[in-house]
Structure 1
Amino acid sequence: MRKLVWLLILLVALCSAWWAAATTQMQSTVNALLDSRRAAGWDVTLKDIGKAGFPLTLQNRLSGLSVAEPNQSIAFEAPQLDLSAPVWWPGDLSARAPVAQAAFPAGALPLVLNMRNMQADLDLHPGLSLQLEQMEARSTYLEVNGPDGLLLEAEESRLRVTQSSDAANEYNIAVLPGRITPGPLLRRVLGEAIAQPGGQPILSARMAVTFARALDRHSAVAGTLPQIDALTVENVDAAWGDVALGAEGALTFDAQGIPDGVLSLRVTNWSKLLDAGERGGFLPPSMRGQVNTMLRLLEARGGTPGGLDLDLVFAEGQMVLAGIPLGPAPRLIQP
């Protein structure tokens, strides 16, 4: 009996020592990542970092965290961020924040996301490189803001990234925003009539991205993603009422980020989108008749009343839509 008691004491002591060492290592890793961003010129603020979760959870609580790149186009801020992992494998990492804000550019459009009850779960492969096996980020409430104010709100939105079983550097990505409520700007541009009779807007996207190498701890330390070599769009679907947009196809990218391939686009009730383009100032009234005539010819070619089925072709650095040259293709990597 006495030996059993001493064995239990020894086991508790070993577990306590492992918990203390592992949480300290987690803390050191977080500080090292933040220091690497500071060294790269980022503005990094962290008021405090503490330990919690004993005995079954390794947890670091970060208070007053804010990170922003030098030009402020990419930034993240959270008054409280809890990083936790089970004591038996620190590679299954979760990040939770009651409220958080993230800013990043979507092409030329700067976006600001305000999130409530944000949670991100990361599953990492055992090994020195700690390759990303799966990540799922979700938020009970998501607010998307553009330069002119609120664009949309979404409830129970999710983003899932899963490493392919066929290639370590290929990841399947699913974007599922949940219930969407358009903001005043989108309602003004698209018009309230578009929402009838189809109810709530729908948005979803599924695609596969092939990187030059697998996502791992080196990517996290560098703060940048590896080069994208290929993109396969399984589906991108957006609908509000009787107006819908869809896309699918595959693109490859060279070392300069120039795309090559075809995206097939589907548009339902394109005339209402012309109305929206004119209301939003994207289509000058003087060009409305010319564009309307061209799209009617493309509609007749496709044979779908009110719909368009178009191929957007990227080749030799140029874009061609349904045989109409559009000029230079946008580069994934900016010089």
Structure 2
Amino acid sequence: MLIAILVAAGLWAGYWVVGSRGVKSDYSDWFDARRAEGWSADYSDLAVRGFPNRFDTTFTDLVLADPTTGWAWQAPFFQVFRLSYKPNHVIAIWPDQQLIATPGDKFDLSSARMQASLVTDPKSNLTLNRANLVADTLQIAQRGHDATTMTALHAAVQRQVGETALYRVALAADDLAPSSRFRTLVQSDGLPRTLSAFSADLQVGFDRPWDLSAIEQSRPQPRRIDVKLAEAKWGDLELALAGELDIDDQGRPKGRLTVKARNWREMLNMAVAAEAISQGFADQLESGLNLIAGLAGNPKTLDIPLDFRRDLVFLGPVPIGAAPLLRLR
């Protein structure tokens, strides 16, 4: 029995050594492939530990930048933990401080904890099956400005049973506090510092599954969005959305969203203050919305459908603006 135990332990140790070298080689090859494509893809150290049951990989001084999309990420470290006997289950851990650059700006992220659990399909190109992310005391600051903060962020994604590229997505932020710059911009005097609710529950169908190619090549594009409920509550202001949109190859939506807004006039004034819409357009919109709200019996609350067609957004038969292009860069 002792000999059998020793042999089994030796075989397992050998498996872990071979496996850890394979994991390290796979990561190194992936970074080499990105650099060959013109990326900035660097780290100062790549270490694999976790014997005997895990492959715990730590990247130090990590930098990833895709010149094609203009997205970049920089972190002092990043950890990926995988069970040696269940390699399709991954735990990711982010540092307290990191930098994300988009085509338009740069953002500093800080958190007390940020980690995710991700399960992929076995023997696939890391095709996403489900994932959960939790971040505590999260702060997101645009470079040169103060931060938008929240005490916690929860996000979950799960591919629907029997579907290849249909995902259920849930998102919730606790005690979301807009930055003082945003509050000043929208003239939010009298509103509390934090929102009492900020959440979304939706299903999104993509043109292909989310897998490793979403990082290496291009992002899967949405083809259908079913908003079960998205809502935000900020003091006496309440906004909720529900509905379904189909999206063509160009990112143009078609369908209907039902919008419910409480104290909508204040929201309209905030949009004008933020220069999201012009004062003239806001006046025209307010005239029509006044009539609709009055017919519904509550002048402070709107419950209206918005139709998306012909690249426009319609309120009844009246176009009120251009429809947004829903494409992921």
**1:112 alignment counterpart:** 107
Residues 261 and 204 (structure 1 numbering): CA distance in 2 closer, same or farther, change over 3 Å?
A: same
Cα deviation, 1:264-312, whole Å, max 9, x if unaligned, reads 1111101211332343344555665444323312322433330112222
Q: Give the letter aligned to residue 157 of structure 2.
A: V
Number of residues paired by the alignment?
Answer: 327
Q: Give the letter aligned to residue 120 of structure 2.
A: L
Q: For 2:220 and 2:279, how far apart are their aligned partners in 1? A: 43
Cα deviation, 1:151-189, whole Å, max 9, x if unaligned, reads 520122121111111412111111111222222023322
Q: Does 1:183 align with 2:203?
A: no
**2:326 alignment counterpart:** 332
**1:208 alignment counterpart:** 203
2:176–2:195 CA contact under 8 A, matched in 1: yes
Cα deviation, 1:33-77, whole Å, max 9, x if unaligned, reads 323332332222211101211112111110000112216742222
**2:66 alignment counterpart:** 69
**Among 51, 73, 88, which residue is 1:91 paired with?**
88
1:210–1:229 CA contact under 8 A, matched in 2: yes
* Deviation (angstroms), 1:332: 2.5
Q: What secondary structure does 2:52 align onto?
A: coil
RMSD of aligned alpha carbons: 2.6
Which of 14-23 and 144-153 deviates more? 144-153
1:23–1:60 CA contact under 8 A, matched in 2: no
Q: For 2:233 and 2:287, how far apart are their aligned partners in 1? A: 24
Which of 299-308 and 228-237 deviates more? 299-308
Query: How high is the TM-score relative to the length of structure 2?
Result: 0.89
1:111–1:146 CA contact under 8 A, matched in 2: yes
**1:228 alignment counterpart:** 222
1:49–1:60 CA contact under 8 A, matched in 2: yes
Q: Which runs of 5 or more residues in structure 2 are unaligned? A: none
**Among 294, 298, 306, which residue is 1:300 paired with?**
294
Q: Percent identity?
A: 24
Query: How high is the TM-score relative to the length of structure 1?
Result: 0.87
Q: Does 1:135 align with 2:122?
A: no
**1:126 alignment counterpart:** 122
* Deviation (angstroms), 1:329: 2.6
Q: For 1:284 and 1:252, how far apart are their aligned partners in 2? A: 29
Q: For 2:99 and 2:117, how far apart are their aligned partners in 1? A: 17
Q: For 2:189 and 2:237, how far apart are their aligned partners in 1? A: 12
